[in-house]
Chains A and B, each alone.
Chain A
Amino acid sequence: MRWSKLYTFNCFRGHHGDASADGPSSDGAGAVGGPGFSRVVHCNNPGLQKPLKYPTNYITTTKYNIITFFPKAIFEQFRRVANLYFLLTAILSLTPVCPFSPVSMIAPLAFVVGLSMLKEGLEDWRRFIQDMKVNNRKIAVHKGDGEFMYRHWEELCVGDVVKVEKDQFFPADLLLLSSSYEDGICYVETMNLDGETNLKVKRSLEATLPLEEDESFKDFQAVIRCEDPNPSLYTFTGNFEYERQVFALDPGQILLRDSKLRNTSFIYGVVIFTGHDSKVMQNSTESPSKRSRIEKKMDLIIYILFTVLVLISLISSIGFAVRIKLDLPHWWYLQPQKSNKLDDPSRPALSGIFHLITALILYGYLIPISLYVSIELVKVLQAHFINQDIHMFDEETGNTAQARTSNLNEELGQVHTVLSDKTGTLTCNQMDFLKCSIAGVSYGVGSSEVEIAAAKHMASGDDDHDMPLEDIWEENNEDEIELVEGVTFSDDRLMHGNWTKEPNSSTILLFFRILALCHTAIPETNEATGSIAYEAESPDEGAFLVAAREFGFEFFKRTQSSVFVREKHTSPNGTTEREFKILNLLEFNSKRKRMTVILKDEDGQILLFCKGADSIIFDRLAKNGRVYEVDTTRHLNDYGEAGLRTLALSYRVLEEAEYSSWNAEFLRAKTSIGPDRELQLERVSDLIERELILVGATAVEDKLQKGVPQCIDRLAQAGLKIWVLTGDKMETAINIGYACSLLRQGMKQICLSIPTGDQVAQDAKKSSLTTEQAAKESLLSQIANGSQMVKLEKDPDAAFALVIDGKALAFALEDDMKHMFLNLAIECASVICCRVSPKQKALVTRLVKEGIGQTTLAIGDGANDVGMIQEADIGVGISGVEGMQAVMASDFSISQFRFLERLLVVHGHWCYKRIAQMICYFFYKNIAFGLTIFYFEAFAGFSGQSVYDDWFMLLFNVVLTSLPVISLGVFEQDVSSEICLQFPALYQQGPKNLFFDWYRILGWMGNGLYSSLAIFFLNLCIFYDQAIRAGGQTADMAAVGTTMFTCIIWAVNMQIALTMSHFTWIQHLFVWGSITTWYVFILAYGMTLRSGDNYQILLEVLGPAPIYWAATLLVTAACNIPYLIHISYQRSCNPLDHHVIQEIKYLKKDVEDQTMWKRERSKARQKTKIGFTARVDAKIKQIKGKLHKKGPSLTIHTVS
């Protein structure tokens, strides 16, 4: 059987090879052998191929290998400036200039670096395992003498002949030689490359068709000369030299790695590009290491602190040098005459330099290494919470959300733009036949989500725009579940043969026949169950066929020339099988936007069935075919508004004579040779596709994934912009836009596309420009027009949508145009890019990321989204049915798109606040502590003596203040997760960066500075020279240091207690536990004689001294008063949103005053122009407007 007969248009591509067989003179092939076209493939001849040294098919995506891991990973670690600084201090700690013991410097550094390296290593190991899996896949390779053997993918070499079987992935880029079909075609699924799910047809050269079985490769020899490896998926140029003839190759013969063989039992191919040379690998971009914005800013703060550190160290060392020079000779009690080089009065400069190092280490508390440890730890715990969140658990797949890198948790709270893939992400790639309009009557009671919600909204009769939609959602969800499980289409008028009783039953019969006959699908009978599955080029056709089967028209067999349908209700005898002879098939393409089949039924009548876009069909209707036009148009608009894909169906009865004369012309066009063949075909097709009679229209729902519209709605309300990037064609993308409420009627669409080839060519001729320039010119003017349109718009409610085509995008992404394009895109409420290649997805992402300068999030599920996922600030992979590539490349993986809402609005919001507050607090506490050490220097002759015991300082960050701040970073929540979801506007605090702006950072630093001053000078004045006890004893350095340290512990722990708004027993335990730990420690430390002057300091010296406790109380209060003033001011004069909500919750106002609560919840949504809510609002406005015009007379206002 030659299935290819069905693809009438494609048939003739095969001849193209013959046409150019005379020599490599046709356009692209001319370059073969020139620069960039140097590849030579000796097929089936490893002896000749070997010397050319092309890489094998082994791929590796790891960053390190066993040898390079250590040096490379260490290098990576010490690229962080902070780590480098710590390394330096650790090295210096081995010298006598260090004021502390070396272990206390080296151990934390080793811990931090070790932990990070371990993490890196684990991630790389996972990548390695993944690579190994791919490399070890098996493929049948020709071993010689016509024998094929299974080998690992990695062993494959250029020139090998391979046999790929059904549903296998192609191991490398192959040249198709022959397939199980006689005419050498095969079907390919390129999901992993471009996200498109429809099957693509590839066709071998006629010359290689005889190579049909293993045996025939015994003596097969050929040479391919072609282009060098490049990332372009849709181009290929090369020559195939076989049997002393040269054939030109085009992309139609190339099978790309990572695409899949479908519907074809096997193919033979020659390997052209292996491993990293293959197009898909060329498309992959280096996975960049990502760091969150907060962390980058933190680095900046670290630099500032480092400057401060150097500054105060300089002050110290200069002070020290001056002191040494001027005063030390007089300080006989220091025996200056016996001094060493560290404090030599005769060489003050040298001593000063040594002291600088000492000071840098001593004041190192300003830049806490523990900050990095704590942040790492907190992020791991946060990631753990994300992984454990039961609300992001998908019951179907059993997958939870996975934070694959914990670096970016807080970045989730700052997302500005979401870039989403379509297929597999927004949609399940499943079509449902939902409605149809036959003979001007609309059938199908199933409603799309938009309709249900809008109807309910209206039915409630509530004029209040702000009525919450939650209830509608909830009920709606129930409906949805029903729809997914049951038969999608339900209308008793048509089902179970009832249509025969309808008034227009003959039209309905025609309608069903068109559904069952006008397509290119192939039925596949499941042997076990007897049920029939359809392999269709597009899922729409599959949906039609399934629907037709439900109506009683089961398409079950296709032969070369006929289609067989089992009809249930057309004859009184019950089920009958009918055969329709297919005479011609005029294929669908995006230019024609219609598809036609001409067939002869059993009565010998010649029928033409045509289905296509409504505008195209309506133009071609006969005068007597327009009976239902008005009604159908109305229905089509309704369907379109409801987010359904529509097609109009029509037919025509042909006279025998008319057909044969046309067919003759058609055959002539078919067999014509030359570039205008396609034009000819189109012209001829056009001749017959007219005088049509409209039958009706279909409406198919591109099944969205569960909860997608709601999720998009909420994300839009949270102020996020959503871009859809899809490999699908424009129509499909726009339909999905409607379904997701990213587009709606009344939105002004700005469509950017490159005019078709001939038009451009004509323009180019006129203005003597190259085709490319002309295309660019036209795009430029389109963008300018669009911008103008947006600018001139006065209506504040007007929304714009930008739809751009892949080709246009290629120009729009060029340097000179991209900013214009971006500016236009920013103005538009929603942006949809169609026909984008994986590389373009990544480029668009980069453009958005760099152009807007805000955080971008990319979400996708397939290998074609990997580039985008890696390029975006945050990459989210959907761990669904598709391969794991997207997930492997992602930073977070979720199993359904709808979980994105919770991931961002709840976890993102929390993590952002937590990390921001945590970092601020960390700086505060270390400034408060570190500066007291500096102040003391001024009183100790800048000698590098610390007022605190070494142990206190060591424990300060590690034990005494670490747990509260970690609990802040892990558990803090300003509002509960429900409120986060109910008030999406709270999310805006993240993108606006309210909690980590300079005002707040400097505020905290100022607070730290103030606290350090308060702690140091209050204590100093209290313990100046007077007795501290009734027993007359005065305070020594140990007593002063310990008291000061006690004050610091109290002050910083009180501060964090004031900062926290969410207290559980854990926080209480940590905060008060830290303070208690200090007392316990000082007691225990005081027991050991190692403690020096701190021996029994609490029990004997300070404990019984009331002044110690009085000072603690005073200093703690004094340190926290400014913060109290700040929050008092904020609370009473300038409350933030979450403060008010906290109050409402605290006072239980939400329970008492439910209307207020609901009103606020709906108000809390960002004014948005996209999303479901906006759509319902627009709809209501529209209906109200209509009602208004019609006057008071009440009309039926059902929405559907």
Chain B
Amino acid sequence: MTPGCLIATFLVIGIIFVPFGLFCLQTSNHVAEINRRYDVECVPNAYRGNKQAYIKDSAISKNCTLEVKVLDHMRAPIYVYYELENFYQNHRRYVKSRSDKQLRFGAKYTGESCSPVQWDHNGFPIVPCGLIAWSLFNDTYDFTQGSKEIKVNRKNISWKSDREHKFGKNVFPSNFQNGSFIGGGKLDPTVPLSEQEDLIVWMRPSALPKFRKLYGVIEEDLEVDETINILIRNNYNTYTFGGKKSIVLSTASWLGGKNDFLGYAYIVTGSMSIFMSILFALIHVKYPRPQGDTNRLSWNRKNSNN
């Protein structure tokens, strides 16, 4: 651990980090992203003052169309996300309220862990149980470009292992969301859980109150300045808790989505290191301390002070 060795360490860190950071930044810059908030826009003007009434009234049509302009060329695959804000999927009460066993093996594993959503009002087990499933996100999106429909692939948006091992192939939704008190979306009782990919994605709680979840994949390129129309069925109630809803279309690089932060962080760390190596090199040049210089030993220093 000589000073020279340390200066070299800093330099090496810097030399690796800065170019890598630049590379990340560049990669991130190549990711095209369209982000459109729609929760307010989609409420008819009449209900702007009382959004909750709007969302709770099933008689009102929740359809809503957005026009989005493509700013950059977007190469397929283009990922479609819904983004929620101020939604505490990471709340302990929420996270706990599920039963992995039930998801995998079926109704007989319904238990207290799903509290408070485990039995319907008739006392039958709810499958899938728990708050997470109960509050399933249920807005849907359809994309058209002019009159042409843009196909959104809703398959393979969840992790393969989830589909294959954690959600049972023989477990079908039952007694789900048919009572009076409806949280989120409904599930087709004829489709096994392992194929309910929206649910599988939703069942992975997010780390933060603002999160994106994959909705589907557009498997065709979108050209610059094209306008696409998104037909939204704005079912999900974010108005009660003041949350925001957005739809996001994004391409992906090897790093994932648009992530400038990683690049910047690398560059900052790297330049810090280089700065430090220069600083210590200067100190080393200006006040050189030969290796094992005996004058630096405490007993010798004391003498020189005297």
Interface positions of A (Cβ within 8 A of B): 99, 327, 330-335, 338-339, 343, 936, 939-941, 943-945, 947, 985, 988, 1018, 1020-1041, 1061, 1089, 1092-1093, 1095-1096, 1100-1101, 1105-1107, 1110-1111, 1114, 1117-1118, 1121, 1124-1125, 1127-1129, 1131-1133, 1135-1137, 1139-1147, 1149, 1156, 1159-1160, 1163-1166
> A1027–B10 contact, CB under 8 A?
no
In chain B, residues 65-121, which have Cβ atoms closer than 8 Å to a Cβ of chain A?
Answer: 77, 79, 81, 83, 87-95, 100, 104, 116-117
> A1164–B214 contact, CB under 8 A?
no
> B207–A1040 contact, CB under 8 A?
yes
A1147 and B291 in contact, given A1034-B214, A1089-B165 (Cβ under 8 angstroms): yes
Chain A residues within an 8 Å CB radius of B95: 945, 1037
A100 to chain B, nearest CB (A): 12
CA distance A887 to B241 in the complex (A): 73
> B207–A1114 contact, CB under 8 A?
no
> B256–A1026 contact, CB under 8 A?
yes
Q: Indicate which residue in B17, B116, B253, B280 contacts A1030 across the interface (CB closer than 8 Å).
A: B253
Chain B residues within an 8 Å CB radius of A1028: 256-257
Q: Indicate which residue in A99, A939, A1101 contacts B208 across the interface (CB closer than 8 Å).
A: A939
> A1110–B214 contact, CB under 8 A?
no
Q: Indicate which residue in A333, A1040, A1114 contacts B269 across the interface (CB closer than 8 Å).
A: A1114
Q: Is B209 an interface residue (CB 8 A)?
A: yes
> Is the contact region of chain A dominated by helix, strand, or loop, or is it mixed?
helix
A1117 and B241 in contact, given A985-B298, A1031-B252 (Cβ under 8 angstroms): no
> A1025–B210 contact, CB under 8 A?
yes
> A1140–B293 contact, CB under 8 A?
yes
> B104–A1132 contact, CB under 8 A?
no
> A985–B299 contact, CB under 8 A?
yes
CA distance A1025 to B81 in the complex (A): 10
Q: Is B283 an interface residue (CB 8 A)?
A: yes
Interface centre among B24, B242, B252 (most CB of A within 10 A): B252
Chain B residues within an 8 Å CB radius of A338: 116
CA distance A941 to B207 in the complex (A): 12
Task: Give a binary string over B251-288; 1 marks a CB under 8 Å from any A CB, 0 the rest.
Answer: 01111111101100110010011001000100110010
CA distance A1139 to B299 in the complex (A): 14
Q: Is B190 an interface residue (CB 8 A)?
A: no
> B297–A1140 contact, CB under 8 A?
yes
CA distance A1037 to B81 in the complex (A): 17
A1027 and B240 in contact, given A1101-B159, A1128-B7 (Cβ under 8 angstroms): no
> B135–A333 contact, CB under 8 A?
yes
Q: Indicate which residue in B81, B91, B161 contacts A331 across the interface (CB closer than 8 Å).
A: B91
A222 to chain B, nearest CB (A): 70
Chain B residues within an 8 Å CB radius of A1166: 299
Chain B residues within an 8 Å CB radius of A985: 298-299
CB closest residue in chain B, given A1039? B207
8 A-B pairs closest in CB distance: A1026-B257, A1144-B292, A1032-B79, A333-B135, A1027-B257, A945-B92, A1143-B292, A1036-B204
In chain B, residues 143-188, which have Cβ atoms closer than 8 Å to a Cβ of chain A?
Answer: 157, 159-162, 165-166, 183-184
A1128 and B6 in contact, given A1033-B214, A1140-B294 (Cβ under 8 angstroms): yes
> A943–B269 contact, CB under 8 A?
no
Q: Is B38 an interface residue (CB 8 A)?
A: no
Q: Is B45 an interface residue (CB 8 A)?
A: no
Chain B residues within an 8 Å CB radius of A1026: 212, 250, 256-259
Chain A residues within an 8 Å CB radius of B206: 1034-1037
> A1023–B214 contact, CB under 8 A?
no
CA distance A121 to B159 in the complex (A): 56
> Is the contact region of chain B dominated by helix, strand, or loop, or is it mixed?
mixed
Q: Is B3 an interface residue (CB 8 A)?
A: yes
Q: A330-B241, A943-B88, A1166-B299 are in contact. List 7 more A-B contacts (CB 8 A).
A: A1020-B207, A1033-B157, A1034-B212, A1037-B205, A1101-B159, A1106-B254, A1140-B296
B163 to chain A, nearest CB (A): 11
Chain B residues within an 8 Å CB radius of A327: 241
> B297–A1163 contact, CB under 8 A?
yes
A1007 to chain B, nearest CB (A): 16
CB closest residue in chain B, given A1034? B212
Q: Indicate which residue in B9, B17, B100, B116 contacts A1092 across the interface (CB closer than 8 Å).
A: B100
> A334–B262 contact, CB under 8 A?
no
CA distance A483 to B273 in the complex (A): 65
Q: Is B217 an interface residue (CB 8 A)?
A: yes
CA distance A1144 to B290 in the complex (A): 10
> B79–A940 contact, CB under 8 A?
no
Chain B residues within an 8 Å CB radius of A334: 88, 91, 93-94, 131
A337 to chain B, nearest CB (A): 9
> A1025–B262 contact, CB under 8 A?
no
Considering only CB atoms and an 8 Å cut-off, how many residues of chain B contact the other chain? 87
CA distance A1146 to B290 in the complex (A): 13
> A1095–B166 contact, CB under 8 A?
yes
A1128 and B292 in contact, given A1034-B81, A1093-B204, A1100-B159 (Cβ under 8 angstroms): no
Chain A residues within an 8 Å CB radius of B134: 333, 335
CA distance A1129 to B208 in the complex (A): 39
Q: Indicate which residue in B213, B240, B298 contacts A330 across the interface (CB closer than 8 Å).
A: B240
A/B interface sample: 11 pairs, CB < 8 A: A330-B242, A332-B237, A940-B88, A1027-B212, A1034-B211, A1034-B212, A1089-B166, A1118-B269, A1131-B6, A1133-B287, A1146-B2
> B291–A1107 contact, CB under 8 A?
no
> B283–A1132 contact, CB under 8 A?
yes
Q: Is B1 an interface residue (CB 8 A)?
A: yes
Chain A residues within an 8 Å CB radius of B256: 1026-1030, 1032, 1105, 1107
Q: Is B289 an interface residue (CB 8 A)?
A: yes
Q: Is B15 an interface residue (CB 8 A)?
A: no
> B242–A1110 contact, CB under 8 A?
no
Chain B residues within an 8 Å CB radius of A1125: 276
> B252–A1029 contact, CB under 8 A?
yes
CB closest residue in chain A, given B137? A333
> A940–B91 contact, CB under 8 A?
yes
Q: Is B58 an interface residue (CB 8 A)?
A: no
Q: Is B230 an interface residue (CB 8 A)?
A: no
A333 and B100 in contact, given A1132-B284, A1132-B289 (Cβ under 8 angstroms): no
Chain A residues within an 8 Å CB radius of B1: 1061, 1127, 1131, 1139, 1142
In chain B, residues 185-209, which have Cβ atoms closer than 8 Å to a Cβ of chain A?
Answer: 204-209
Chain B residues within an 8 Å CB radius of A1105: 256
In chain B, residues 217-265, which have Cβ atoms closer than 8 Å to a Cβ of chain A?
Answer: 217, 237, 240-242, 250, 252-259, 261-262, 265
Q: Is B122 an interface residue (CB 8 A)?
A: no
Chain B residues within an 8 Å CB radius of A1117: 13, 17, 269, 273
Chain A residues within an 8 Å CB radius of B10: 1124, 1128
A1163 and B211 in contact, given A1025-B83, A1093-B204, A1140-B294 (Cβ under 8 angstroms): no
Q: Is B305 an interface residue (CB 8 A)?
A: no
> B298–A1137 contact, CB under 8 A?
yes
Q: Indicate which residue in A331, A1135, A1164 contacts B296 across the interface (CB closer than 8 Å).
A: A1135
Chain B residues within an 8 Å CB radius of A1128: 3, 6-7, 10, 276, 280
CA distance A1028 to B257 in the complex (A): 6
A1160 and B266 in contact, given A1026-B258, A1032-B217 (Cβ under 8 angstroms): no
> B292–A1140 contact, CB under 8 A?
yes
CB closest residue in chain B, given A1096? B161
Q: Indicate which residue in A332, A333, A1164 contacts B299 across the interface (CB closer than 8 Å).
A: A1164
> A1127–B116 contact, CB under 8 A?
no
A480 to chain B, nearest CB (A): 30
CA distance A355 to B252 in the complex (A): 41
A335 and B116 in contact, given A1026-B257, A1143-B291 (Cβ under 8 angstroms): yes
Q: Indicate which residue in A1031, A1037, A1124, A1139 contacts B90 across the interface (CB closer than 8 Å).
A: A1037
CA distance A1061 to B2 in the complex (A): 12
In chain B, residues 8-40, which have Cβ atoms closer than 8 Å to a Cβ of chain A?
Answer: 9-10, 13, 17, 20, 24
CB closest residue in chain B, given A1036? B204
> B265–A1018 contact, CB under 8 A?
yes
